[in-house]
Amino acid sequence: MKRRIKLLFVIENSCYGGGEKTFSLLLRGLPKEEFGLYCAARPEGRFYDEVKDHCRFLPLDLSCGLDLRNIGRLKKLMAENGIDVAHSQGARADFYCALAAAKAGVRAVSTVAMPVDGFDVGFLRKKLYLALNAAAEKRTHSFITVAGYIKDLLVHKHAVPAGRVDVIPNPAVLDGGAGFDASRVINELGLRGHIVLAALGRLENQKGFDILLEALPLLAKSRPELFEKIKCVIAGSGSLEADLRRRAAPLGDKVVFTGFRSDVRDFLAAADVFVLPSRAEGQPLALLEAMAIGKPVLAADLPGVTEIVTDGTNGALFKSGDPAALAERLAALLSDPAGACRMGAKASETASRFTLDNFIEGHAAFYHKVFPEAQR
């Protein structure tokens, strides 16, 4: 007789980002008849509110730097709850989870949405992260990646056997149910009568919002008639907010910072163009969300992006890190509304393939592969 796999999710949820959203989708969507669901994280915030009624929640705070006591804490949680598979996401959670699982005799798996190699940190911190990551990888049974290029990196640079890595793309899921209320956001932010450029993400160096802010004066110089029509709206919070506001100050009311928003569907619906100026990405959820709602997208030509966006077909690409290239492609996109509309329609077709059902079913199959004993 089949038995349920006891599955523990481990994440350092001090903020709500792509990792928290995908784990939330899994905890809410995995079939309860197949899986006993547990989660070890901080019992507060949006992530906790979303998942607390869908699993047994085990309070654990992984946000306090390098605290090796968390290995013992996690091992105890695994042993007390008879965990079969422990699934982590994020460098810190991966390290604690892999070492705890090895001590507890539990199979550790990890989602690698952004390789440690791409972390935007100082030299010494990068060295530390790489060392901790190497220790975790040696004790990790299997991996999930969100894009093919990450699997290639794990296999060819990290020497992980290809058979231990599955690619399960992120889903294009917009919270909030059917329909949207773009007019509310337009009125709230004073966007009526403008061409709205929307950008969404953590206000950190990786996301490249400074590149977008450098591109706007170039657009003003080369195409002042287009610049006059736009409003650039940046949603998110992070450590660079003050610096980005300072950079945007010379642009006056052309740039609006909204802070963190939970109404992503309505926010994107209010946009005319979605801009992704990132320096590094795995497979960005915000990009998929904008495409799902049928928005033309202008994105940096990063590996995880080019697996989704074909330049000139379902979106436009520019050279990552190049404000002049961003301004040039933006001018071309804004000068061709009919072409932008066609791109938006193609974007929606592309996003329709990234379904939540495929995401859930792919993970369920992965867990059964990792722990086949449940089939006996």
Mean pLDDT of 41-55: 96
Domain at 182-351, CATH class: alpha beta
Task: Give me the residues paired with residue 317 across strands.
Answer: 299
Quick one: which of 188, 164, 322, 163 has its CA closest to 256? 188
> How far apart are the C-alpha atoms of 330 and 34, rounded to whole Å?
48
Q: Residue 251's closest CA among 276, 267, 230, 278? A: 230
Outline where 253-321 has alpha helix (H): 264-269, 285-292, 303-306
Which tokens hold the place of 341? Answer: 């509309």
Give the alpha-carbon dihedral of 58, 63, 66, 69, to 10 degrees. -20
pLDDT band for 179, please (50, 70, 90 cuts).
Answer: low
The pLDDT assigned to 129 comes to 76
- Rounded distance, CA 249 to CA 254, Å? 9
Q: Is 343 helix (H, G, I), strand (E, B) or coil?
A: helix
Distance from C-alpha of 233 to C-alpha of 267, rounded to nearest angstrom? 9
**pLDDT over 90 percentage in the chain:** 84
**Residue 201: pLDDT above 80?**
yes
Cβ pair 204, 240 in contact under 8 A = yes
Asked if the model's pLDDT at residue 222 lies above 90, the reply is yes
Task: Please report which confidence band the pLDDT of residue 176 belongs to, taking 50, 70 and 90 as the band edges.
Answer: low
Fold of 5-171+355-375: Rossmann fold (3.40.50)
pLDDT higher at 134 or 177: 134
Rounded to 5°, angle at Cα 68 from 67 and 71: 120
Q: Is a pLDDT exceeding 90 seen at residue 217?
A: yes
Taking the domains of the chain in order of start, what are their residue ranges?
A: 5-171+355-375, 182-351
Single out the residue of 89, 326, 97, 114 nearest to residue 202, CA to CA.
114
| Residue-wise pLDDT tens digits, 305-354 | 999 999 999 999 999 999 999 999 999 999 999 999 999 999 999 999 99
Find the mean pLDDT for residues 210-236: 97
Report which DSSP code applies to 311.
B
pLDDT at 1 over 60: no
Assess contact for 371 and 84: CB atoms under 8 A: yes
In this model, does residue 155 exceed pLDDT 80? Answer: yes
What is the pLDDT confidence band of residue 137, given thresholds at 50, 70 and 90?
very high
* DSSP-derived 3-state class of residue 252: helix
With H, G, I as helix, E, B as strand and everything else as coil, classify residue 19: helix
pLDDT, residue 237, reads 92
Q: How many residues does the chain have?
A: 376
**Alpha-carbon span 3 to 374, nearest angstrom:** 5
pLDDT score, position 35: 97
Distance CA 343, CA 317 (A): 12
Residue 105 DSSP code: T
Q: Can you list the alpha helix ranges (DSSP code H) found in the chain? A: 18-29, 45-51, 69-81, 91-104, 123-138, 148-156, 182-189, 209-222, 224-227, 241-248, 264-269, 285-292, 303-306, 323-334, 337-351, 356-370
What's the gap between Cα 323 and its chain centre?
23
Q: State the average pLDDT over residues 14-22.
A: 90
* Candidate ranges 15-19, 106-110, 117-121, 129-133; pick with highest mean pLDDT: 106-110
- Fold match between 5-171+355-375 and 182-351? yes
Mean pLDDT (whole number) for 176-202: 89
Q: pTM of the predicted model, to two decimals? A: 0.92
Q: Output the six-digit token pair for 373.
A: 């004993």
Average pLDDT estimate for 15-40: 95
Q: What is the distance between the alpha carbons of residues 206 and 250, in angstroms, rounded to a whole number?
A: 23
Position 2 confidence tier, pLDDT thresholds 50, 70, 90: confident
State the chain's mean pLDDT as an integer. 94
Give the residue-averaged pLDDT of 251-265: 93
Q: In the prediction, which pLDDT does 114 show? A: 83
Give the residue-averaged pLDDT of 355-370: 97
